Structure 1
């Protein structure tokens, strides 16, 4: 099954934006193995 990925943004303090990848369906987190929908890019 293919995983769909979208680049999304969220407003944070002081007019800044946070970018993250939104996965559907959820993928396993690389470190914990728990299902997750988001990975923040930290740019």
Structure 2
């Protein structure tokens, strides 16, 4: 099981980043999916 702290990052979900597709909805959702995986693995 993972121990300690985790840092997840993403591009800011600004209009510029979404319109230029630097950040897509699936990419942003993946950050939260990964966070959930880490929380579940820690418990």
The normalised TM-score by structure 1 is 0.24
More strand by share: 1
Which protein is richer in helix relative to its size? 2
Larger relative contact order, structure 1 or 2 (CA cutoff 8 Å, min sep 6) = 2
